[in-house]
Structure 1
């Protein structure tokens, strides 16, 4: 799958917990020290090399709303705007950042992940991509949550 700046899966970023549970094939709640996450699984037909492809989505819940959608990678053929980011095909964090910058994107590079501040997206090459709801998070809040001090 080739991810882009728009969230591509049938999960409503900014939608209610109930709306998103209706879309998931299986789900559970993960109680954290400072809140709860919705963790769920989407099974999509015809999205990969196999006839069926399962994606794990983890979402931060705020006020009964899913304000993030982190997709954990489940196979090796994953890219973001054509740049490899999957478990078996990813470049290093630094080389991934360089490839995205070459496409004109603003990228903040950290030790393990990348932040695309203009698009409210974080990427940890080899592991996941996370979309943040722009209608919930301000630019400052997004950066405060994602950029290491």
Structure 2
């Protein structure tokens, strides 16, 4: 799949859980000690005819799905803003992060290297190479909430 800073999947990020359940062709709730997640599968054949479904994991707060995480189904084929999401031949994980950061910054996207990936500070997105992409609902979190809950947790200075 080709992912970007914009959340364009057929899933209601920021919507009530009842609406989000309808976006999934299969789903369940995962209750954790620190909250609840809606885990489901959404149909993406209109975006990628060769791919029937994508798993999505949404953090639930106040009855809303306030994040949407897509575990990378095919990291060798998945891209983010045109860049591969795996280390290329001879690259380390950190080299792959640096390559993606450099490319995103050339596109005018502010980034911060994280313990768990790359934070896109103005887009409410965390990209974890080889693992997942998470979009945070800006209307729920606001810039301070996103910074406090996603960005400030694991910053790494270069």
TM-score where L is the length of structure 2 = 0.84
**Alpha-carbon distance in 2 for matches of 1:63, 1:8:** 23
- Whether the 8 Å contact between 1:93 and 1:111 is mirrored in structure 2 is no
Q: Distance in 2 between matches of 1:103 and 1:83?
A: 12
Q: Is 2:133 the counterpart of 1:136?
A: no
CA distance in 2, matches of 1:71, 1:109: 19
Change (3 A) 1:5 1:30: same
State the shift of 1:49 in Å.
6.5
C-alpha deviation, 1:46, in angstroms: 5.0
Answer whether contact 1:93 1:112 (CA < 8 A) is retained.
no
Alpha carbons 1:73, 1:87 under 8 Å: kept: no
Query: Who is 2:37 aligned against?
Result: 37
Q: Which runs of 4+ in 1 moved over 6 A?
A: 87-91
After superposition, where does 1:39-78 map in structure 2 within 5 Å?
39-48=39-48, 50=50, 52-75=51-74, 76-78=76-78
RMSD over aligned Cα atoms = 2.2
Greater per-residue helix proportion: 2
Unaligned runs of 5+ in 2: none
- Tell me the number of residue pairs that the alignment of Structure 1 and Structure 2 aligns: 148
| Matches for 1:89-100 after TM superposition, within 5 Å | 92-100=96-104
- Output the TM-score relative to the length of structure 1: 0.89
Distance (whole Å) between structure 1 residues aligned to residue 84 and residue 131 of structure 2: 12
- 1:88 deviation in Å? 8.2
Alignment check: 8 A CA contact 2:10 2:44 kept: no
Contact 1:88 1:126 survives alignment (8 Å): no
Q: Secondary structure at the match of 2:52?
A: strand
Cα distance in 2, alignment partners of residues 36 and 104 from structure 1: 35
C-alpha separation in 2, matches of 1:100 and 1:128: 17
Counterpart CA distance in 1 for 2:87 and 2:10 is 22
